[in-house]
A and B are shown apart, each in its own frame.
Chain A
Amino acid sequence: MATLTEAPPPLSPTAPGKKPPRKRGRFTPYWLLLPGILWLLVFFALPMIYQASTSVQTGSLETGYKVTWHFATYWDALADYWPQFLRSILYAGAATILCLVLGYPLAYLIAFRAGRWRNLIMVLVIAPFFTSFLIRTLAWKTILADGGPVVGALNSLHVLDVTSWLGWTTGDRVLATPLAVVCGLTYNFLPFMILPLYTSLERIDGRLHEAAGDLYAKPVTTFRKVTFPLSMPGVVSGTLLTFIPAAGDYVNAELLGSTDTRMIGNVIQTQFLRILDYPTAAALSFILMAAILLMVTFYIRKSGTEDLV
């Protein structure tokens, strides 16, 4: 019997004479990238360069501005407005912590306990976005109005005595105090905390909780050793999404605060739109950006989330 060394060739599926497929689409990825790159170039890179040049100009509105590499604007701006910088970071930090404290239990509830109510609660979390940011903040003015029910209740519970003593409120007023600004910031940025928290909690495999319980961890220990560490990516992105915009925000301080609660956003806004001192405004913007970038880098390094995501 002859040994077969070769399998019979299978019938060719391609008809003879048909050209091999043309090499196409080598540049397609770049074409697809183009609109986004153009957008970034025109609306991000160019304004940044323009702003950078503005920050080192000198002159006045009447005589015109010239680039004179006047870096002293930065030092002057810092020297004049460091209290507002500090306040921004304090208020944004307080709002971020409040968001985390309020948002984590809610996100946990939605992810693990809500069952069929999950979608409804998610809609409720996002619902405020259907109203404008400005209107929502104005509504807080009514809520915290002098002599209103909230202030009245806080007053009769002697909460205001404590907050006044801490310097968060003044007398019988909540409006136009740091507390009001932090409340507004917390309220406005809470969904930005809840959504990433929920996403990362929801991704946790339920069997890990069972495994922890099986390995002698009480429910509290399970949370401390398994659930919370695994939700760190959500905690980090939630705090960043809250802290960064809150630090630059000026609407809450404008509507709910007073001249004593001005944040750096208010200063920049005034410099640009009222005083028309463009170099100082541009320099302040850059300082804010650099400060946030530094803090965020430090925070991400510290929280060690790189290998968790």
Chain B
Amino acid sequence: MITVTNKNTDNSGDVRLAGISKTYDNGFTAVQPLDLTVPQGSFFALLGASGCGKTTTLRMIAGLEEPTTGTVHLGDQEVTRLPPYKRPVNTVFQSYALFPHLDIFENVAFGLRRRGIKSVKKQVEDMLELVQLGEQARKKPHQLSGGQQQRVAVARALINTPKVLLLDEPLGALDLKLRRQMQLELKRIQTEVGITFVHVTHDQEEAMTMADTVAVMNAGRVEQLGSPTDLYENPNTTFVANFLGTSNLIEAEVDSKSGGEIVLKAGGGKLVLPEARYAGPTTTGGKVLVGVRPEKISLAHADEAGEIPDGRNRITGKIADSSFIGVSTQYVIDSPVCPEFEVYAQNIDRDDRLVPGAEVVLHWNPAHTFGLDAAQDIDAGIQEEATV
């Protein structure tokens, strides 16, 4: 069972999923049996490509989908079979699902009125202030911009002070700049109200910016769960390594082991991997996938290979492609150990010799190397198109 440590003692906002799974009538299993605990007050992200089961998981928490097996607990209350209108959770829907026939005020007041609260004026006005829409109260949803509609959707859910707020790709319909702004805004609101947020997204950057804890999902399973830094620096699987940012993965073989370091053979060269960063077996001759992130690597022209300090992992190759993107330059290196080795170099002191076709040496601190079980698909999690 995967559990995130909980600083808070009040657990009424915990979400506990136990052995929960969903198989549709057509035989498709969207979510494999899954155990997950989200502690009260945390900002939790379910990250994955479309069809990985993250939205289905969210809908099972909301009560919009009935799990095939397993149970859902909110705090100590079991809600597995409760209809959505009896659950103390609220959802911010993808593309918002605002009621088009009601104005903003009535949209936000909807939940309060359904619970029989008569004097809603003060609360609704306060909530609209919180999302900076006080002026728009009497407009209809279609008269607002995408960003404003998004804030109405958040206000409409939050006003009910749910135990848990569920967000289903809430920023998917916004343009990049607005999305950045809303990411910070949502984070601010979450800190302010202290409600548990469960956020579904396919955007790894969004998940990492906003969430305290991210669960990476793939094919109906949680691949890995942890803090954004932890997931990025220590991926457990090739899927996580490739899905979250970019990783260079090299097929290597265990050569020897000494003093907490594993020495590996890869394409004639030697690479060093800290033992602590590889969980698999380390018998000599065993296969290991060695990974390193593109921004950890330094690039030197072949003529200056002698100047590279000892003790760094090094690989030779030839620049296949380079693209200048302002703060950095992204190189694709054709190397014997990996045909498309990616390197991101900060544009501090640019070496004019580093152009496509140049022979180069890549080197990095062995501490930035991680090891993965070689029995996996090396390309798992590589996205077809770059995430914006």
Contact = CB atoms under 8 A, between A and B. Distances in A.
B85 A211 contact: no
A212 B100 CA distance: 12
Nearest to B142: A307
B101 A214 contact: no
Contacts of A205: 97
A216 B101 contact: no
Nearest to B109: A215
Contact of A208 (B97, B140, B157): B97
B101 A215 contact: no
Contacts of A218: 85
B93 A210 contact: yes
A230 B97 contact: no
B83 A216 contact: no
DSSP class of A's interface residues: helix, strand, loop or mixed?
helix
A212 B107 CA distance: 10
A240 interface: no
Contact of B114 (A217, A307, A308): A217
Nearest to A218: B85
Nearest to A215: B111
B353 to A, nearest CB: 19
A213 interface: yes
Contacts of B140: 307
B93 A211 contact: yes
A216 B160 contact: yes
A229 interface: yes
A122 B90 CA distance: 36
Interface string B52-77: 00000000001110000000000000
A230 B85 contact: no
A145 interface: no
Contacts of B114: 215-217, 221
Interface residues of A, number: 20
Nearest to A205: B97
Contacts of A307: 140
A26 interface: no
Contacts of A230: 100-101
B83 A215 contact: no
B115 interface: yes
B217 to A, nearest CB: 21
A158 interface: no
Contact of A207 (B83, B84, B97): B97
A287 interface: no
A200 to B, nearest CB: 12
A226 interface: yes
A217 B99 CA distance: 13
Interface in A208-253: 208, 210-218, 221, 225-226, 229-230, 232
A213 B64 contact: yes
A214 B99 contact: no
Nearest to B83: A213
B110 A215 contact: yes
Interface in A266-309: 307-308
Contacts of A210: 64, 84, 91, 93, 97
Given A210-B64, A221-B114, A215 B156 contact: yes
A169 B85 CA distance: 47
Contacts of B110: 212, 215, 217, 225
B111 to A, nearest CB: 4
A213 B100 contact: no
A225 B110 CA distance: 9
Contacts of A232: 101
A236 B140 CA distance: 21
B387 to A, nearest CB: 25
Interface in B291-309: none
A9 B156 CA distance: 54
Contacts of B63: 213-214
A304 to B, nearest CB: 10
A230 B63 CA distance: 24
Contacts of A221: 114
A83 B95 CA distance: 55
Contacts of B111: 215-216
A114 B101 CA distance: 26
A217 B93 contact: no
Interface of B: 62-64, 83-85, 89-91, 93-95, 97-101, 110-111, 114-115, 140, 156-157, 160
Given A211-B97, A214-B84, A215-B90, 16 more contacts: A207-B93, A208-B97, A210-B64, A210-B84, A210-B97, A211-B91, A211-B98, A212-B99, A213-B63, A213-B64, A215-B85, A216-B115, A217-B85, A221-B114, A225-B110, A232-B101
18 contacts: A207-B93, A207-B95, A208-B97, A210-B64, A212-B99, A213-B63, A213-B64, A213-B85, A214-B62, A214-B63, A214-B84, A214-B89, A214-B91, A216-B111, A216-B114, A225-B110, A230-B100, A232-B101
What 8 A-B pairs come out closest when comparing CB atoms? A215-B111, A216-B114, A211-B97, A207-B97, A213-B84, A214-B91, A216-B85, A229-B101
